[in-house]
Each structure stands twice: as structure tokens, then as C-alpha cells.
A and B are shown apart, each in its own frame.
Chain A
Amino acid sequence: MAIERNYYTIDPEGKLECMKCHVPLIKGKAKFMYLDNGFPVELPVCPVCGFVYVPEELALGKVLSVEKALEDK
């Protein structure tokens, strides 16, 4: 089992709100999948509808670098 990684912390807690369910996003379990690979991660998730949020700095930082590494495999 791969180690779960936490790349993002909601700070301050409660600053992100699900517009559909009107509840704050909490730290929740999610999975990135790319080119036959899967990575368990912890990301801001809506506890009601399950919307998983990928913040911009994460998408353009860690996510992009992992994508590039996998593309060159």
C-alpha cells in the first residue's frame, strides 16, 4: 500500500465551502490516477457530495511534476 501523502492543508480551516451543499470542505481521502498509476492522497473534500478540490498551487506544482515523471516512464 502506497503511503498517503498530504500535499495541501486548509488554512485557516473552514475557508473553503461547497457551494452546492453549503458545508465547509474537510480533509478527505482522494486518489490521483494517471497512465495506469494511482496515488492515494488527502485533499479538501466536501463531506456531503464528495467534491474533491485540487488547488491551483498543487495542480501546477506537485501534480504537474508527477505527471511529467510518469509521462517519461
Chain B
Amino acid sequence: MSDTQLAWVVWAVLLPLGGIVVNLVVGRRLGEKGIGAVASLAAGGSFVLSGLLALALLQHPEGGIYRLATWFNLGSLTVDWSFRVDTLSVTMMLVVSGVGTLIHIYSIGYMHADVRHNGDPQRFRRFFIYLNLFVAAMLLLVSANNFLVLFVGWEGVGLCSYLLIGFWFEKGEGGLGNARAAKKAFIVNRVGDFGLLIAIFLMIGAFGTLDFDGVFAQAAQAAPALLVAITLFMLLGVTGKSAQLPLFVWLPDAMAGPTPVSALIHAATMVTAGVYLVARSQALFLPVPQAQAAVTWVGGLTALFAATIALGQYDIKKVLAYSTISQLGFMVAAVGMGAAVAGIFHLVTHAFFKALLFLAAGSVILGLEHGHEHAGEGHDPFDPQDMRQMGGLRKRMPLTFAVYLVGALALAGVAPLAGFFSKDEILVAASERFPVVFGLLLAAAFLTAFYMGRQLILVFFGEPRSKAAHHAGESRPLVTMPLVVLAVFSALGGALNLPGLHSLEHWLEHSLVGVKEGHFVWAVALGSLAVALLGLGLAWLVYGRRAPTEQDALARPLGPLYRAFERKWWVDEFYRLVLLRPLGWLAQVLAGPVDLGLINSLGDGLGQGSQLSANWLRKLQNGLVRSYALVVMVGVVAMFAYLLWVR
């Protein structure tokens, strides 16, 4: 590829930053439409550039590296602002900027209503500035050519996540709920980033470089113990960013952000960064099966664990949030076991259908808010995200229902929608390499179908269970148009890597190491389809036949188990008890008794000591000539003694 073509990648990263500058400088005069248009055009421009890069890659699939400048060069370590154009990075760029652009467009309509509902229209511009910043950081993450530039994007998206979760920073539980959720997300992610940083330090020591090519070329000769250390610390980073066990706790709270944020950052793109990292670093994982197993197990356990929690949620977005954690578990397991193509395939299809589901959920929320105001109950406390307040929206929001159905079935893994094919590839790989994890994933797939069936029924079927639901109406075209586009991709996305054709596999072969040819196993495919249909059918049996009540239909038959689902297995409470409380207490002890007590007394002791010695010394200067004479005489004697005997 020519340098001119390679330079497009830089422009793709810079364009959204340009959007920020424009909106900062003249945004106030542009009005909402103008602000939204600038931001969307910036993201759309990045998408066009990504598309051009993809076309160029068709000619030169080996891609290339574009070095912009030296970031810093110290001792023997040089880190450049350099970018990597290959099939993997461009695939990610297409997803990020493509889904990103659609969500920008959707947000123009959504945020118009949201800023008014929340009573601060001035904040419209700020939202798009953050969103553009996110796109830039995420594109940097996936197009970086070394681990440190990747880390800039990695923490950059985390920062945007912080800002956007706390977008309505004065709202939420007690007025502080959203701000706390944002802080929690950042700090939990920092715990993960700690792991990634240590991995980077280890790589510097071992390989002397952070460039992907330099690191991967030396990986084969590296000591296995070292690689295990690097990859396991990296895994800690993955569990933070991609919300896996044990660091997943921030993602459900992150739903405090506006719904487009949940769709873009907390479902389609940012949270998949961990999956991308492991896929990109396959050369480090492949030589050490222990590390591969660790990643696979983390993914498999998370997939099942999060799916159980999704069963017990009533908030429409929380169900989707736990579903995201669960699906990320599928992807992490896939890249862990070396089925990187399957992992990326699922990443792409999931970006389509989960973005679709979140945005459609946003449309439902708008519909309910609209209905709530229409019903003349504008000031009553009302949670427009509580599925117990919904029902019967099928007739009131037909378009939203149609696209939601597509998304839900794709997620459940019903053939021939996108999710079926990508999930199937993961299951095939697992069945051959990790039979127990295969079992976990299959169970998770069953639960996925079940909780999506439950959600569909609670939201769209039956009769409206609140006045707001009764008066709900369909959203504006600006909101629904992106939904239709995403629905088409969710339906047809499987075509990317159809069995027999394997187009995605052949595309990614150029940038992923250790790609094994995928194959289609009828038994697994039929099994997973059966599991999906069984889950949906069972959901219909449990929820579809009678009107839902305040208590979930499963609460009685499952008893304490269901209580555990509802209460998220008490993980937050556990962390509070064993980590946050003791640490907070420790900080208090350090600040109080230790610092103000012990260490401070060192200093005050110094003061008193000098005062004491001063008092004592003062006695020497008593003004009496005879005592001075005595001192002089003692001195003279001592000097003589020294000269006579010692020398």
C-alpha cells in the first residue's frame, strides 16, 4: 500500500477530533441539527476512510504501517505514534465508525428528547463532543501499531465512558447515582489497566520494544513462564475492559449513561476492546496453553454467570447489559481457545444486533416517556425502563417491535440470522477443544434465548400495564431509520462468514496468526438451534400465557436461586464487604491515628526537643564569668590531654 493510502488511517482518527473542534468553536451558533450534523459527518467521514482502506486492502491484503511521529525515545525504548493498517484493524475500524455513525444520527433525535426530558437543553452539544472523542479514541485503539498507543486509546475510551456514564451527573439514586456509576467504571477499569501496564512493562524488559511486529516475532523464542505472566496480566486488563469475571461489576451500572451510549460504548465497541486485544496478541497466547485455558474459562464462566443474572432483571437496559457481558464471554472464550476468527465474527455480528437492541430499547423508553407525559402524569415518579410498566407495545410501536424482534432472534441464535452463524462457530471450536466450556456456553445460549423471549413478551406482548404504556407512540424517523439499517445487518450479517465460503476467515488470515480452517458441524448447528428454540418456547410457556405480575413467574419455582439472579449473586455486596469497606477504613486509620498521630508527633517532637535543648543550652549562657572561665579551663585541659596522649 502506498503511504498516501496508509495516511488515511490517521485522518480517520483525526476527523472526529476535528468535529470536536468545530462544535467547540461554533457549536453554540449551529443549533442542535447543526451540532448533530457536524458530529455525524465527522464519524461518517471516518467510516468512508475506513471503507477506502478496506478497498485498498483487497488489492494489498498484507496492509502496512504508517509512522506519524516519534512519541518518545528514551534509553533503548522508542515508542512511535504509528498506525497499523491490516485486515483486522480495518475490520474493527469499519465496525466502530459504521455503527458509530448510525448511533450519531440516532442520537440527534434521541438526545433532542432526552435533554428536554432531563431539563438541560444546553447539554446537547456536550454529548456530541464526548461521542466524537470516543470514536477518535476507539479508532486509535484498534489502529495502533504498538501496545502503548493502543493503551492511549484503551484508557481514552475508558475516559469517554466515564464522561458519558456521568453525562447526567446530577441524576440517579440520591442525585449521585450516575456520578458514582461513572467513577466505579473508571476505577474498576483502572484495576484492569494495572494488569495491562504490568504486561507492557514485562514486554519492554523481555523484548525491548512495544511494536506489535517486534514483540510477536520474539514471542516464539521467549520463555514460557514469561509469556504466561504477560498474558495473564493482559487477561486482567481484558476482564476490566470487556467486563468479564471478576471485574464485570461496572458494566451494569454503566447503563446510567444515555441509551445511545449504552449501545455504542457499552455494547457494540468499547467493551469488545479486550476481545480485540487477545485476537491481536494471538502470537503471545498460542505458545502457552495454560494462558489460553485461563482466558477460555474466564469467558465461558462469565457467559453463563451473566446469563443467569439477566433472567432476574426488570430494567429493560439491565437485561441487555448482562446479556452483553454474557456475549462478551462467548467472544473471550473464542479468542482464548485460539478461534480468533470466530471471536471477531461474533464481535461484528454482536455489534449489529446488540446496538440494534439497545437503540430499539431507547426507542421504547422514548415511547414510554412520551406516553407518560401524554397521560398527564408528567410529575409522578415513573421509571420508563421498568419492563413491569410495559406490555402491549407491539401494536403501539410496530416498527420498533419489528426491529427488536429481529435483534432478539439474532441474539438468541435463531437461523438464519447473524447471531446463529457466529455463535455456532464458537460452539464448534469449543466442542473440539474445551468440552466443559462447550457445556457452559451451550447452557448460556439456552438462557440467552429464554431471557430474550421473556423480554419480548414483557415489553411487546399482552396488554399495557401502565398508562404510559397505554399512551406510548412510535418514535420519529430520525430514531427509527438507523434501527432499520441495523436490523438489516443483524439479519444478514451471517453472510460475512458463511459455512463453505469463509470470506471473513480468508480476509482475516492476513493479519491473525494461527488461523485454523473453520468447519461446519451439523450436530452442533442443529443442537444450538434447538437450544435457542427451546429457550424461546419455554419463555412463552412461562410468561406468555398469563399476564405478568409484580413477582416474576420464576421466583416461586426457583426460590432462593431466583433471588440470587435478582440480586446479581451479591457480587457488589461482596466487594463492598471485603474490599471497599476495609480499604476505606484503612485510609481513615492512615489519615487519622497514623499520620496526624504517629508521624506528626515526630515533627512536633522535633519542635519540643529543640525547645528543651534550647532551655538547657541557655543555662550555659548565664553571664557568670567564673562559669565561663571553668568551661575555658576544661577546654584547655582537654586539648592538652588530646595532644599529649592521643597523638
A, B assembled together: no
Interface residues of B (CB under 8 A from A): none
Interface residues of A (CB under 8 A from B): none
